[in-house]
């Protein structure tokens, strides 16, 4: 066993609790913070102690009905959907400024609620703000097509916001992922009902005040807390919600897909992944080590685009595994609020149990090179936190469950390959197709591989660094539809074609 050697951050001696934490998170409906109609609540846990620190209103059908009614009214009767893009953009800029102004508070809350290391939570706030700025710019610069048929017809496209958008989000980087849907939905002129993940509703509670202060009209943004099977399900099935944008597990996506069918709803689905990082023998070895470590262990491994299967050319395989494992053992695991921490606590005991079950499974499916359990010497008072040592398995066969299934924690499977063809076959050998990372200095090989790999997004010689204009999304079981840039605006708007006759209409004279 190698877990004893995992580094733990010891500088934080007391568990950091942000000031003035709320004790009861409410829904936000029609401009007001409200309890559930039936008064129901559920507990929210802090991941480093797994003790409840607050309750949240538990949304049911009646709460979703009220939120949807408010959003529907704001869409039908409020100023937002018909406001000029520049006016909407000015509100979005104010939202972005407010997010940045609260960066420290937001990062503290996010870290406290999710267990994400504080240095990585800071980046999430900046990225969330950037999403609002980006879509503000996009709607102002937006133009639509016009098609002229000289002398006979002019056709133009009018873009209209669709209506009430239901936004359902997961618990990994919750605030940032909420911004990802909120920014384009609101920028497009839709009104929204957000159902944040039940494990991590804390940072979502900041949106209402941010939006109010920025001047977003009442009823445009509504939030219902609660579980997927109740609040989420009611939102998906609500007849007045024509659009569902969902990010979460592929199996949940399948359920939502089925439930949207009844209402023929528009759907955008960002689902799970088991992305390959392929390291060829001509790669920049040191850069590949740094990047493939970051690619799976950043955000506690709770990252949809994690490069959680590393495929390495056999000629450099032993050297790679040795160096990789040595670095993984050196990763600093500990109090998420400690700036030295690189891997914090997993979000929730239920998720911890799932990840740990894969760690145990891996011991018979691969060769354990690092981690393999809980790290020792955890900070005082956090011995019961959901901590998992960064875990590395080598020699993992392609039919192993740890090769095929999304673990969503700090666990990686490494597998050797001999030829480019075998690397491609291994890379494509899962039901997922979200991202792929390719490490080679051979231009031809890199492009050929990128074009053949079954992944919505490919990075050549890098981990996940994304320009907001580019499409985001997966293929196969990793998603349906792509978001990012104009694709997001396309999702939240209908494009109406208006055809104007300029010349004579040649109509067959029926019945003449």
Contact positions toward ligand NAD, by CB under 6 A? 168-172, 177, 195, 197-198, 227-229, 232-233, 236, 247-249, 252, 255-256, 270-273, 304, 406, 408, 434, 474, 479
What phi, psi does 228 have (nearest 5°)? -65, -40
Q: Based on CB atoms, which residue is closest to ligand NAD, 88 or 181?
A: 181
The residue whose Cβ lies closest to ligand NAD is: 228
What minimum distance in Å lies between the beta carbon of 163 and ligand NAD?
Answer: 19
- Round to whole Å and give the CA distance between 382 and 32: 36
Q: Which DSSP symbol is given to 216?
A: P
Q: Which two tokens stand for residue 241?
A: 């919600």
What minimum distance in Å lies between the beta carbon of 305 and ligand NAD?
Answer: 7
What minimum distance in Å lies between the beta carbon of 395 and ligand NAD?
Answer: 25
439 closest CA partner among 453, 430, 429: 453
What minimum distance in Å lies between the beta carbon of 477 and ligand NAD?
Answer: 10
Q: Based on CB atoms, which residue is closest to ligand NAD, 8 or 230?
A: 230
Q: Which two tokens stand for residue 401?
A: 């469950």
47 closest CA partner among 162, 252, 248, 202: 202
Q: Based on CB atoms, which residue is closest to ligand NAD, 295 or 474?
A: 474
Q: Based on CB atoms, which residue is closest to ligand NAD, 89 or 435?
A: 435
Neighbours of 42 (CB within 10 A): 17
Residue pair 462/437 in contact (Cβ under 8 Å)? The answer is: yes
Residue pair 426/276 in contact (Cβ under 8 Å)? The answer is: yes
Bridge partner list, 60: none
- Round to whole Å and give the CA distance between 428 and 422: 10
What minimum distance in Å lies between the beta carbon of 302 and ligand NAD?
Answer: 7
Neighbours of 428 (CB within 10 A): 16
Q: Per residue in 229-268, is it b (16+ CB within 10 Å) or e — as a string?
A: ebbbbbbbbbeebbbbbbbbbbebbebbbebbeeeebbbb
448 membership: H or E segment, kind and range: helix 443-452
Q: Based on CB atoms, which residue is closest to ligand NAD, 9 or 202?
A: 202
Q: Based on CB atoms, which residue is closest to ligand NAD, 227 or 294?
A: 227
- Round to whole Å and give the CA distance between 435 and 478: 9
Distance of CA 407 to the CA centre of its chain: 15
What minimum distance in Å lies between the beta carbon of 231 and ligand NAD?
Answer: 7
What minimum distance in Å lies between the beta carbon of 318 and ligand NAD?
Answer: 31
Q: Based on CB atoms, which residue is closest to ligand NAD, 248 or 362?
A: 248
Q: Which two tokens stand for residue 287?
A: 């850069």
Quote helix, strand, coil % in the chain, to nearest 5: 40, 20, 40
Q: Which of 304, 365, 406, 454 is catalytic?
A: 304
Residue pair 178/197 in contact (Cβ under 8 Å)? The answer is: no
Q: Which of 108, 270, 406, 454 is catalytic?
A: 270
Q: Based on CB atoms, which residue is closest to ligand NAD, 249 or 340?
A: 249
| Concatenated DSSP letters of 242-257 | -EEEEES-HHHHHHHH
Q: Which two tokens stand for residue 183?
A: 């920014």
- Would residue 270 show up in a list of annotated catalytic residues for this protein? yes
- Round to whole Å and give the CA distance between 176 and 413: 28
What minimum distance in Å lies between the beta carbon of 234 and ligand NAD?
Answer: 8
Residues marked as catalytic: 270, 304
């Amino acid at each position: 066993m190698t877990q004893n050697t995992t580094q733990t951050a010891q500088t934080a001696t007391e568990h950091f609790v942000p000031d003035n934490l709320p004790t009861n998170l409410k829904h936000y409906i029609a401009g007001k913070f409200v309890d559930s109609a039936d008064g129901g609540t559920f507990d929210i846990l802090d991941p480093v102690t797994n003790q409840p620190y607050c309750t949240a209103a538990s949304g049911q059908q009646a709460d979703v009905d009220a939120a949807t009614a408010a959003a529907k009214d704001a869409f039908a009767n409020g100023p937002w959907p018909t406001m000029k893009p520049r006016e909407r953009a000015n509100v979005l800029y104010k939202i972005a400024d407010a997010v940045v102004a609260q960066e420290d508070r937001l990062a503290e809350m996010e870290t406290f609620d999710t267990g994400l290391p504080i240095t990585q939570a800071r980046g999430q706030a900046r990225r969330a703000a950037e999403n609002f700025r980006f879509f503000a710019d996009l709607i102002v610069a937006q133009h639509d097509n016009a098609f002229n048929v000289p002398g006979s017809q002019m056709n133009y496209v009018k873009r209209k916001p669709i209506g009430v958008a239901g936004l359902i989000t997961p618990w990994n980087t919750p605030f940032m992922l909420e911004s990802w849907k909120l920014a384009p939905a609101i920028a497009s002129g839709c009104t929204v009902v957000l159902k944040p993940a039940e494990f991590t509703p804390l940072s979502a509670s900041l949106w209402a005040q941010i939006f109010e202060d920025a001047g977003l009209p009442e009823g445009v943004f509504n939030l219902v807390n609660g579980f997927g099977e109740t609040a989420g399900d009611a939102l998906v099935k609500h007849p007045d919600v024509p659009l569902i944008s969902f990010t979460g597990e592929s199996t949940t996506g399948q359920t939502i897909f089925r439930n949207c069918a009844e209402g023929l709803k528009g759907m955008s689905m960002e689902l799970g992944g088991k992305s390959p990082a392929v390291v060829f023998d001509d790669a920049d070895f040191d850069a590949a080590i740094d990047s493939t470590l970051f690619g799976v262990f950043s955000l506690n491994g709770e990252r949809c685009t994690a490069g959680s299967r590393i495929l390495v050319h056999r000629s450099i395989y032993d050297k790679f595994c040795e160096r990789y494992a040595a670095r993984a053992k050196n990763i600093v695991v500990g109090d998420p609020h400690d700036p030295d921490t690189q891997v914090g606590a997993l979000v929730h005991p239920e998720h911890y149990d799932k990840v740990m079950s894969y760690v145990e499974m891996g011991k018979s499916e691969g060769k354990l090179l690092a981690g393999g359990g809980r790290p020792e010497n955890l900070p005082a008072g956090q011995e019961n936190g959901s901590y998992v040592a960064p875990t590395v398995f080598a020699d993992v066969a392609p039919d192993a469950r740890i090769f095929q299934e999304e673990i969503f924690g700090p666990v990686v499977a490494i597998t050797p390959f001999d030829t480019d063809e075998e690397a491609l076959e291994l890379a494509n050998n899962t039901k997922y197709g979200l991202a792929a990372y390719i490490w080679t200095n051979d231009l031809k090989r890199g492009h050929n591989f990128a074009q053949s790999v079954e992944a919505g997004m490919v990075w050549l010689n890098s981990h996940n660094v994304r320009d907001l204009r580019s499409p985001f999304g997966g293929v196969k079981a990793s998603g349906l539809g792509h978001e990012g840039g104009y694709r997001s605006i396309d999702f939240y708007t209908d494009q109406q074609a208006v055809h104007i006759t300029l010349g004579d209409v040649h109509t067959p004279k029926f019945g003449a």
